[in-house]
Amino acid sequence: MRKNVRTRRLRLRTCAITSASTIQAYIKLNYDPNKAMTDIMAKVQQVKYRIPKEANDPIITKTTGDTTDLMYIGFSSKVLAPNQLTDYLVRVVQPRLQAVEGVQTAEILGQKLFELRDWLDPRTRSQLVAMYLAR
């Protein structure tokens, strides 16, 4: 579902699918983007109680029309496995880069995540499902 909303200072474009919703705010020329960001964050906090408890917290980012990143940094290791390197980058490097003044976001591209598979017999699985649904 798509919806467009216009105000004097910005235009909102929304898009919702089964597992995610996206709202894009297009700010009018010469309007302070920091004030707009503050206004948007305040509005999100006002309606946050309406979001289901199972949903992830809203993520708010500020970008310009240019989608080219300013810098790419490569990481490799002879000691760590790819998933261990990703874990280190997520826990240590990414928070430090995002703490640098002027850095909007530090994304990790090509990450290798841990995977866990657990094989349960049908009785155990049905008991777990029953416990989950009883909450």
Mean pLDDT per block of 10 residues along the chain (135 residues) reads: 53 68 77 82 84 80 69 88 89 90 81 72 81 79
Q: How far is CA 126 from CA 28, 36, 118, 121, 133, in A?
A: 54, 49, 14, 9, 10
Residue 84 has a CB neighbour count (10 Å cut-off) of: 13
Looking at residue 61, its pLDDT comes to 76
Q: Say what the pLDDT of residue 16 is.
A: 67
pLDDT for 1: 47
What's the length of the chain? Answer: 135
